[in-house]
Amino acid sequence: MNAFARILEWPIMPDDDTALALWSAGEIAAATGGTPSTDFQAAGADIDSRDVAEGDLFFALKGEAMDGHLFVDKAFAKGAAAAIVERPVEGPHVLVEDTSSALEALAKLSRNRAEARIIGVTGSVGKTGVKEAIFAALDRSSRGRAHRSVKSYNNHVGVPLSLTRMPARSKFGVFEMGMNHAGEIRALTALVRPHVAVITTIAPAHIENLGSEDAIARAKAEIFEGLEPGGVAIIPADSPHHARLRETAEQYAGAVVSFGRAVHADVRLLDAVPAPGGGSLVTADMGDRRICYTVAEPGEHWILNSLAVIAAVRAAGGDMGAAGLALAEMRGLKGRGERHTIAAPGGDGSGSALLIDESYNANPASMRATLAQLGVTPARRRIAVLGAMKELGEHGPAYHAALAEPIAAAGVDQLILVGDEMQALADELGKAVPPALGKVIAFAHCGTAGQALDALTQIGVQGGDALLIKGSNSVGLGAVVAALTKQEG
């Protein structure tokens, strides 16, 4: 058979007739009940005119402080194919009663029309990284036909937008779901309707609004309520809330898979040793087989995260080999563990220092995990810039003060604290004397990110230093990272 004959006999696939465009005017009108001004096709979707790309559908959402209709012209100037609006505008559009409701309607249609296996991910810590790793594995094995929510689009706007962006030809969809109040994940999982639902861990994030870790566990477990019939729930075996999570999962899931170090874990860590070049070499027992793979991301938390990834990929019908390769190639995300080599004079004469960017988020569990990783990072000096942990409420002072122990254990040499909430930690460090914390830690307490950058300049990052920058996003430490990485070494 010659090459031309082989092309003619190319197998017919079930989705060969599926439209290549993401959305047409007719589909949007049918889903939303809106009125299109003209016929059009859109290749993408966005809610921020600054992010609009050529061919996108722009949703003019109305919020408490901003009206997206004010930015329709900017969206068209950047190449938007059409806009979803509540009042007529110049340019192709669909006129609807409520743009937020229209976004949700398209999200539902997108979920209904796709035959993809859907994975939902939540948790107090690690959900974005786990989501990205699951996506990388499934995208590799499906040859580019996996979809996921980008960045941390995990709320009542981000989740429907991410669903609306899912191509009809997708084989897999991976969606992150977040919350800071009870009931929020219930609404999100009803939209996503996952075949596989993952909880990474339970920790005191957003405890200000929920009151206790037990309440956080209940709120996170809402993700199981949206599981498709026969779906799989994946839960952390080592969590003190394991029993509660399992009890809830069993009400909705066809199967419950636990992961962790515990002897009862279904995906159980057997061994983890440092891998050449960083990261870990992991051996895990999956019940019917043992697997060995490399995790590029450093830290104990990523060893456990990898077990959740492996469990999710298997439950979704993905390729385990692709999962192993994805974990071996994963690198830190911006603001969530990304590592930079920056120019640094003096010190050991190497001319460079390591900067670990954890500036996007912080809670007690993630603070401890990243400080522990800093502690095992080879360095001439270890410097930490730690921003306040938000949404801890009345528990905040105790959680901030408790960071004194992991800071000491990490062998931090220079410490900069940022934000009013860090006063409790400053007080704790100020009264500590050897041998309570092993040594007196030199620290400064600043009110803003700009002041932290000034304090860091006074310290002087030198060759061979390791610098950790971590805090809640609202503290603004991303600006410090940006200033230091303008000229990477």
pLDDT score of 489: 46
Distance between CA atoms of 29 and 41, rounded to whole angstroms? 12
pLDDT score of 364: 93
- Could you tell me if 150 and 226 are in contact, meaning their C-beta atoms sit under 8 angstroms apart? no
Question: What residues contact residue 98 under an 8 Å CB cut-off, 6+ apart?
Answer: 86
Superfamily of domain 23-99: MurE/MurF, N-terminal domain (3.40.1390.10)
Ordered by start, the domain boundaries in the chain are 23-99, 114-329, 338-484
What is each CA distance from 456 to 346, 382, 463, in whole angstroms? 15, 12, 14
Mean pLDDT by groups of 10 residues along the chain of 489 residues: 56 57 95 97 96 97 91 97 97 97 97 96 94 96 94 92 96 95 96 98 84 93 98 98 97 98 98 89 96 93 96 97 94 87 94 95 92 94 96 93 95 96 93 59 93 95 96 95 78
Superfamily of domain 338-484: Mur ligase, C-terminal domain (3.90.190.20)
- Phi, psi (degrees; rounded to nearest 5) at 121: -130, 130
- Could you tell me if 374 and 412 are in contact, meaning their C-beta atoms sit under 8 angstroms apart? yes
pLDDT score of 380: 96
The pair of three-digit structure tokens given for residue 297, joined into one six-digit string: 């991301």
The pair of three-digit structure tokens given for residue 160, joined into one six-digit string: 């429907």
- The residues facing 121 across adjacent strands are 176, 198
Map tokens 């590799």 to a residue. Answer: 140
Q: Which of 412, 353, 361 is nearest to 389 (CA)?
A: 361
Stated pTM of the model = 0.87
Superfamily of domain 114-329: Mur-like, catalytic domain (3.40.1190.10)
**CA atoms 70, 75, 76, 78: torsion sign:** positive
- Phi, psi (degrees; rounded to nearest 5) at 386: -115, 120
Cis-peptide into 435, omega within 30 deg? yes
- Phi, psi (degrees; rounded to nearest 5) at 323: -65, -45
- Phi, psi (degrees; rounded to nearest 5) at 107: -60, -45
Distance between CA atoms of 451 and 456, rounded to whole angstroms? 9
